[in-house]
């Protein structure tokens, strides 16, 4: 079990502050969803965790030790990202071997099995792989290394529906067999919603939410009905967004409802899913609410 | 209104047959979903439609005329694809202007509006755009050109949930204002399911389905219950796949049910969605059925 803590991480590129004072602890053996808009700072955060880029200030501690110039610590982490780090001429099986030089417990048997299930030909050169199959190769490596902390940055980019389903199934399977911590950054929120135990939501470089998916969904509502009644009912509540359809209106509420309020017959209250919550918390237009 | 027909299109790369005798007519002013696994031949088909690559045999006719070396015909088609055709140093507004040289009715007003809605800075150089914003730029151009046939190859690659929602909304809006034909190739089937009128499904280089979404869904079922009862009920029907959960089983059926069969109390029949249908029609493992 590996303990991971980020302490007041700030990252600036020139005058732009990409990450702003982020502190968090990752619980061991937990599947995290790392959510945020394009440009919110998710990839930067993952790159800092693995020391691919330096933070402007703050520290990352893995089991109490810095991750800077520390191969023993970095061997506990694997980052799957969009970056293509492999030589174009290297063949798939050679990339597996090369990975095993750094991650000595690399599970070749699992990697071969997965390559076969995904239809990845191990004799192909990296340069010949499509966008989807490059993601698949990197996903296979991520599931096969013996690291304790697996960071997945858009693991399903370019994957078709069958391959995405297969990938989620294999991830859960390997997690059950050998629990470790996964951090999954993706734009396909609903597809991973059933799998993630904890949500990290970054907005404008700040950590906006760090809570269990269960807690978040238990306080996320849509309130739908005639515009006037809906607005009377949600007045003073934390309305994070709304939709209109003709004269009907849905207000999205994040936080507790007022139990003393009487719900008119014409108005219905329902839970919303994680993607709807995300869209309303991070949308920039027509949004009146806040956390 | 533009008429598009593909006549016995076959494409070979070396010994590999990527497209195998594909014939179809595109109805005018219709939104098509072009579905298929990675490697099924979707992108090849779109590239042949726009004469970016030649077919090995067969012809493409646009309003009765060949698309080969025919700028007048190619001006009626726009292909948005993963290929990055712009100079790295070109700025966004320059790329708009360059596009207007070929598509003289390019709608600059719409392009500016969309750039603003998507948060795309028109002064950025192409090389500075992320994967998501490259897709957004190409999507904006696709919606702004005055072509009659708009081909979109993975238009939401790298887009976050809000941007995907915005894109679908803007596509439907511009389609309502100026009807034309869209062909959307995507792996996010459920997100476009509500928008597409007609489905084209390619499997192993062959056109497997060409039908309205309505017709397809009207004959797609899941049959769920205890394994034995389910298998008795679906015996002889066109079972295209199944899932198991403990002792429960779901068989997926494509085609008419047998109305004379008695449905046991323990078994339920429900419709399935387009993504589920797709996964079961195109999956390669554990599938016993066929079209």
Sheet with B4-13: strands ordered across = B16-26, B4-13, B57-62, B65-66
Give dist(CA B286, CA B239) in Å, integer: 11
Query: Which of A136, A161, A273 to mutate to test binding with chain B, by most B CBs within 10 Å of its CB?
Result: A161
- For residue B142 the two structure tokens come to 């696709």
Crossing angle of helices B108-118/B131-144, nearest 10°?
150
Closest-CA residue in chain B for A284?
Answer: B162
Q: Could you give the percent of chain A with pLDDT greater than 90?
A: 82
Q: Are B261 and B233 spatial neighbours (Cβ–Cβ below 8 Å)?
A: yes
Three-state DSSP at B162 gives helix
Q: Are B5 and B251 spatial neighbours (Cβ–Cβ below 8 Å)?
A: no
Q: Are B126 and B90 spatial neighbours (Cβ–Cβ below 8 Å)?
A: yes
Give dist(CA A82, CA A79) in Å, integer: 10
Closest-CA residue in chain A for B133?
Answer: A38
Residue located via tokens 């046939």: B149
Q: Are strands A77-80 and A149-153 parallel, antiparallel or unpaired?
A: parallel
DSSP assignments along A98-126, one per residue: HHHHHSTT--HHHHHHHHHHHT--TTSBG
Cα–chain center distance at B1: 21
Cβ distance A162 to B119 less than 8 Å, yes or no, reads: no
Give dist(CA B279, CA B242) in Å, integer: 11
Closest by CA to A78, choosing from A138, A3, A8, A167, is: A138
Give dist(CA A132, CA A182) in Å, integer: 21
- For residue A28 the two structure tokens come to 């061991």
Identify the H or E element spanning A278: helix A274-282
Closest by CA to A86, choosing from A74, A95, A96, A77, is: A95
Which ipTM score applies to this complex? 0.77
Query: pLDDT band at A284, cuts 50/70/90?
Result: low
Q: Which residues does A contribute to its contact with B (CB < 8 Å)?
A: 36-39, 82, 117, 119, 130-133, 154, 157-165, 187-189, 275, 278-279, 282-285
- pLDDT 10s digit of each residue in chain B, 291 long? 789 999 999 999 888 899 999 999 999 999 999 999 988 899 999 999 999 999 999 999 999 999 998 888 999 999 999 887 888 899 999 999 999 999 999 999 999 999 999 999 999 999 888 888 999 999 999 999 999 999 999 999 989 999 999 999 999 999 999 999 999 999 999 999 999 999 999 998 999 999 999 999 999 999 999 999 999 999 999 999 998 888 899 999 999 898 888 899 999 999 999 999 999 999 854 333 344
Chain B residues closer than 8 Å to A164 by CB: 187
Cβ distance A38 to B283 less than 8 Å, yes or no, reads: no
Cα–chain center distance at A152: 7
Average pLDDT over residues A240-264: 90
Closest-CA residue in chain A for B281?
Answer: A162
Closest-CA residue in chain B for A136?
Answer: B38
Across the strands, what pairs with B22?
B9
* pLDDT for position B289: 38
Report in angstroms the alpha-carbon separations of A145 from A98, A121, A179, A222, B148: 12, 19, 13, 42, 50
DSSP assignments along A1-33, one per residue: ---EEEEEEEEEETTEEEEEEEEEEEPTT-EEE
Three-state DSSP at B211 gives strand
* pLDDT for position A288: 37
Give me the phi and psi of B67, to 5 degrees please: -95, 5
Query: pLDDT band at A287, cuts 50/70/90?
Result: very low
Chain A residues closer than 8 Å to B159 by CB: 38, 187
Sheet with A4-13: strands ordered across = A16-26, A4-13, A57-62, A65-66
Query: Which of B38, B133, B286, B287 to mutate to test binding with chain A, by most A CBs within 10 Å of its CB?
Result: B38
* pLDDT for position A200: 97
- For residue B171 the two structure tokens come to 């596509």
- For residue B196 the two structure tokens come to 């597409």
Cβ distance B38 to A159 less than 8 Å, yes or no, reads: yes
Count Cβ neighbours within 10 Å for each residue of A160-187 and write b for 16 or more, e otherwise.
bbbbbbbbbebbeebbeeeebbbbbbbb
Cβ distance A38 to B130 less than 8 Å, yes or no, reads: yes
Q: Are strands A198-203 and A206-212 parallel, antiparallel or unpaired?
A: antiparallel
Closest-CA residue in chain B for A186?
Answer: B160
> Counting every residue, how long is chain A?
291
Chain A residues closer than 8 Å to B282 by CB: 162
Closest-CA residue in chain A for B286?
Answer: A117
- If one counts every other C-beta atom within 10 angstroms of the C-beta of residue B161, the result is 23
Three-state DSSP at A87 gives coil
Give dist(CA A60, CA A9) in Å, integer: 8
Closest-CA residue in chain A for B162?
Answer: A279
Give dist(CA A161, CA B27) in Å, integer: 27
Report in angstroms the alpha-carbon separations of A208 from A21, A184, A200, A217, B225: 11, 17, 8, 15, 43
CATH superfamily, with its number, for domain B4-215: P-loop containing nucleotide triphosphate hydrolases (3.40.50.300)
Q: Are A66 and A60 spatial neighbours (Cβ–Cβ below 8 Å)?
A: yes
Give dist(CA A171, CA A166) in Å, integer: 9
Three-state DSSP at B289 gives coil
CA distance A68 to chain B (A): 27
Cβ distance A278 to B161 less than 8 Å, yes or no, reads: yes
- If one counts every other C-beta atom within 10 angstroms of the C-beta of residue B58, the result is 16
- For residue A233 the two structure tokens come to 């009912």
* pLDDT for position B284: 56
Q: Are strands B16-26 and B4-13 parallel, antiparallel or unpaired?
A: antiparallel
All structural domains of chain B with their residue ranges = 4-215, 219-282
- Top-confidence residue, A130 or B227: B227
Cβ distance B187 to A39 less than 8 Å, yes or no, reads: no
* pLDDT for position B291: 42
Q: Which residues does B contribute to its contact with A (CB < 8 Å)?
A: 36-39, 82, 117, 119, 130-133, 154, 157-165, 187-189, 275, 278-279, 282-285
* pLDDT for position A130: 84
Q: Tell me which residue in A82, A117, A160 faces B131 most closely, judged by beta carbons.
A: A82
Q: Tell me which residue in A38, A188, A285 faces B132 most closely, judged by beta carbons.
A: A38
Query: Which letter does DSSP use for residue B180 in this model?
Result: -
Domain A4-212's class?
A: alpha beta
- Top-confidence residue, A13 or B291: A13
Three-state DSSP at A93 gives helix
């Amino acid at each position: 079990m590996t303990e991971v803590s980020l302490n007041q991480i700030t990252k600036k590129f020139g005058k732009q502050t990409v990450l702003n004072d982020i502190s968090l602890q990752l619980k061991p053996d937990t599947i995290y969803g790392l959510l945020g808009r394009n440009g919110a700072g998710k990839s930067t955060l993952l790159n800092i965790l693995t020391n691919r880029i330096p933070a402007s200030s703050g520290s990352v501690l893995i089991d109490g030790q810095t991750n800077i110039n520390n191969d023993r610590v970095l061997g506990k982490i694997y980052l799957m990202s969009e970056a293509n780090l492999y030589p174009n001429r290297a063949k798939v099986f050679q990339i597996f071997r090369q990975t095993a030089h750094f991650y000595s417990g690399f599970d070749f048997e699992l990697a071969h099995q997965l390559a076969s299930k995904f239809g990845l030909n191990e004799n192909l050169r990296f340069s010949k792989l499509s966008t989807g199959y490059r993601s698949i190769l990197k996903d296979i490596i991520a599931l096969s290394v013996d690291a304790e902390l697996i960071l997945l940055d858009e693991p399903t980019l370019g994957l078709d529906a069958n391959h995405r389903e297969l990938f989620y199934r294999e991830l859960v399977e390997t997690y059950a067999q050998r629990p470790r911590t996964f951090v999954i950054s993706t734009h396909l929120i609903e597809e991973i919603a059933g799998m993630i135990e904890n949500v990290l939501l970054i907005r404008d470089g700040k950590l906006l939410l760090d809570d269990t998916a269960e807690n978040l969904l238990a306080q996320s509502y849509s309130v739908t009905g005639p515009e006037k009644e809906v607005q009377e009912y949600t007045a003073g509540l934390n309305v994070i967004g709304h939709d209109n359809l003709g004269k009907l209106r849905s207000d999205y509420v994040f936080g507790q409802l007022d139990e003393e309020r009487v719900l008119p017959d014409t108005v219905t209250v329902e839970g919303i899913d994680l993607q709807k919550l995300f869209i309303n918390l991070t949308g920039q237009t027509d949004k009146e609410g806040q956390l």
